A and B are shown apart, each in its own frame.
Chain A
Amino acid sequence: MTGSHGVPLLEVENLTTRYPVRRGLTDRATRQPRLWVRAVDGVSFTLARGEMLALVGESGCGKTTTAQTILGMVAPASGTVRLNGTDIAGLPERQMRPLRRQLQMIYQDPYESLDPRFRVETTVGEPMLVHGIGGSQAERRELIVAALERAGLSPAEAFLARYPHELSGGQRQRVAIAASLVLGPDLLLADEPVSMLDVSVRAGVLTLLDRLRRDGRMGILMITHDLSTAAHFADRIAVMYLGRIVEHGPARQVVRHPQHPYTKALLSVVPARDPRVRSAPQLLTGETPNPVDVPTGCRFHPRCPIAVERCSALDPALRVVSSASHEVACLLA
């Protein structure tokens, strides 16, 4: 799926990010092999303008690290991240800085992502000052007001002088979104944007994101552990497990016709809100293993209910099943 210029907005190819496990003096002295936390272990996907992709998985699957790597806050070990055609993976900060206008991030905690000492006007205006946009203070103010209105805070003038502690969680998150919009980014990374908000305000923020990508032709990469939210708002879902994407396809498709045993299990344990719907939860044994100790072969095989012998030897790659855009990494799919 390509944008109007023929180049996809975001192209991630074989991205690998790992952290060294710190070794103590005795380990070093006895020459123990260095261990790595393989947080992201070969992730590839594309994102087009106007599209929302949900990166879904449990804790430790690498979804947040993927976002951090794309944002350039963490250097990848290998792989490419192409934003509007330019490879930004591992770019030194000096070269990255001007490119930061094109991609912004929304953080999970609305109570922490705004500086408590800054008024709303200052927070939203800060990115402009950093990048030298908006010549005069009056011009900047106009842009700030426009961004706040776009983020659903109306009338914007009433919010300019407020401090974060005077706002509710939902309002703070909208301020954070406005502060991201003010630079006119093409790509928005949203890390669990609503998980810390009350249920009654979540839909408002998610609908806002939905509207932004449709009207603004932005691309949104949403990180979430909530499959229901992903199913409702995202175009496509990519399910991650231990640093890899194990299933990837249109949201409806993945949720109604999951192909990977992990996806199936995950979907089966999501509680339904209708008490009459008695789901048959497929409880996997144990918990997700440590990304330091990735199993050989298919990384899911120790917990997989349908694993066969060759699953412990062969590491499956993503291949297409059913429709053209639905891929699964499973030998038995």
Chain B
Amino acid sequence: MSLLEVSDLHVWFDVPQGHEVHPVQGVSFALDPGDRFGLVGESGCGKTTTILAMMGLLPPNASVSGEVRVDGQNILAGGEDSARGYRWKDIAMVFQGAMNALNPVKTVGWQIAEPMAFHGIAQGAAARRRAGELLEMVGIPAAGAERYPHEFSGGMRQRASIAMALACQPRILLADEPTTALDVMVQAQILDLLTRLSHELGLALVLVTHDLPVVAQTCGRAAVMYAGEIAECGPMETLFHQPRHPYTRLLFAATPDLYGAGEVVSIGGAPPRLDEPVTGCPFRPRCDVVLDRCAEEHPALRLVGPGHEAACHHAERAGAS
């Protein structure tokens, strides 16, 4: 039994005028302690909504189906009430732009201690001491607990946000674009920190980002999302060297490399609207290896290699190992 198991997760949003948007369309993956898993995709693919759903942090106009099992228990079974018990204690999140989401009128130490008090883990002086320890763990001197967010640089604020997420000793950490707004040097420091934490604390890390090289260097496995679904999922090396979904291949080809001499491509067209059901494969309009089947039959996520799945008719045709 894995530490974290997401099964067939779907999310819908009710939109004014009676319509519905379907941003997450059947996402499944599993993690063990110490795993670093990347959830990669471009804007609108549903990766952020997926992890928000895993935390149960959805707006009132959302509805969810599927399961998110932590140690076998489905945390979404009872809706918000059940999710709340696991939130921050077992599964915690570092939000996009977290460095700007810190409360400006409270000290950093207070903000780290707050969830501890709320979940009954530590109070008062004990909580403050633990906040100091957490800051040290993320590379900020413990004295920084007395400081306010505006006194920290962007990178330090991001570290503080990570410390805050670790306040209740979760076993699963979801990081939403943790380094997107940071300089490349600071980015390297933060990624190094996350890797170290996952080693030392046995944290299962889900790294959500659009930046392929970041995932390539930080994660062992990844899932590439497109139009709310997982297009391909597998070990990082396999995704780069033997991609089976055209989107994965094209996405890597569209990412320039420092020393690579090959041409950088762009993928024409745009992702499909998420408020209308799609017949056939959602990537078909932009795909370069389209088959006739792709227009009628929606490709399911199937095994194409050891621990490697792809949702593509072409991949199946090429034959699984």
- Would you call B265 and A203 a contact (CB within 8 A)? yes
* B146 interface contact, C-beta 8 A: no
The residue on A at minimum CB distance from B179 is A271
Q: Which of A244-287 contact B (CB under 8 A)?
A: 255-256, 265-267, 269-276, 278-279, 281, 283-284, 287
- Would you call B258 and A255 a contact (CB within 8 A)? yes
Of the four ranges (under 10, 10 to 19, 20 to 34, 35 or more), the interface on chain B belongs to: 35 or more
- Would you call A275 and B236 a contact (CB within 8 A)? yes
Residue of A228, A281, A288 near B188 (CB, 8 A) is: A281
* B57 interface contact, C-beta 8 A: no
- Would you call B237 and A276 a contact (CB within 8 A)? yes
Determine the distance from Cα of A206 to Cα of B256 in the docked complex, in whole angstroms.
11
Residue of A58, A200, A206, A207 near B185 (CB, 8 A) is: A58
* B274 interface contact, C-beta 8 A: no
Q: Which of B256-275 contact A (CB under 8 A)?
A: 256-260, 264-268, 270
- Would you call A200 and B184 a contact (CB within 8 A)? no
Residue of A206, A229, A275 near B217 (CB, 8 A) is: A275
CB neighbours (8 Å) of B257 from chain A are 228, 272-274
- Least CB distance from B216 to A in Å reads 4
| CB contact under 8 A between A283 and B256, given known A203-B264, A203-B266 | no
* A201 interface contact, C-beta 8 A: yes
* B43 interface contact, C-beta 8 A: yes
Number of interchain pairs (Cβ within 8 Å)? 116
Residue of A58, A200, A227, A275 near B240 (CB, 8 A) is: A275
CB neighbours (8 Å) of A37 from chain B are none
- Least CB distance from A50 to B in Å reads 20
CB neighbours (8 Å) of B237 from chain A are 275-276
| CB contact under 8 A between A269 and B210, given known A199-B42, A207-B266 | no
Residue of B216, B266, B268 near A273 (CB, 8 A) is: B216
- Would you call A231 and B42 a contact (CB within 8 A)? no
The residue on A at minimum CB distance from B220 is A275
* B254 interface contact, C-beta 8 A: yes
- Would you call A273 and B188 a contact (CB within 8 A)? no
- Would you call B216 and A272 a contact (CB within 8 A)? yes
- With an 8 Å Cβ cutoff, the count of chain A residues facing the other chain is 41
* A232 interface contact, C-beta 8 A: yes
The residue on B at minimum CB distance from A208 is B266
Residue of A207, A267, A272 ringed by the most chain B CB atoms within 10 A: A272
Interface flags for B219-243 (1: CB within 8 Å of A; 0: not) read 0000000000000000011011100
- Would you call A269 and B266 a contact (CB within 8 A)? no
- Would you call B254 and A203 a contact (CB within 8 A)? yes
- Least CB distance from B178 to A in Å reads 14
- Would you call B188 and A202 a contact (CB within 8 A)? no
Determine the distance from Cα of A270 to Cα of B217 in the docked complex, in whole angstroms.
10
By a beta-carbon cutoff of 8 Å, the part of chain B in contact with chain A is: 42-43, 153, 155-156, 183-189, 191-192, 210-214, 216-218, 236-237, 239-241, 250-252, 254-260, 264-268, 270
A-B contact pairs, 22 of them (CB 8 A): A199-B212, A200-B254, A202-B254, A203-B254, A205-B266, A206-B264, A225-B184, A228-B256, A228-B258, A232-B260, A233-B256, A255-B258, A256-B259, A270-B184, A271-B218, A272-B213, A272-B258, A273-B252, A278-B217, A281-B188, A281-B192, A288-B183
By a beta-carbon cutoff of 8 Å, the part of chain A in contact with chain B is: 58-59, 168, 198-207, 225-229, 231-233, 255-256, 265-267, 269-276, 278-279, 281, 283-284, 287-288
Instruction: Given contacts A207-B266, A281-B188, list 6 more A-B pairs with CB under 8 A.
Output: A198-B42, A204-B266, A270-B213, A272-B257, A287-B153, A287-B155
- The 8 closest A-B CB pairs, nearest first, are A204-B266, A269-B188, A271-B213, A200-B267, A203-B266, A58-B183, A275-B236, A271-B217
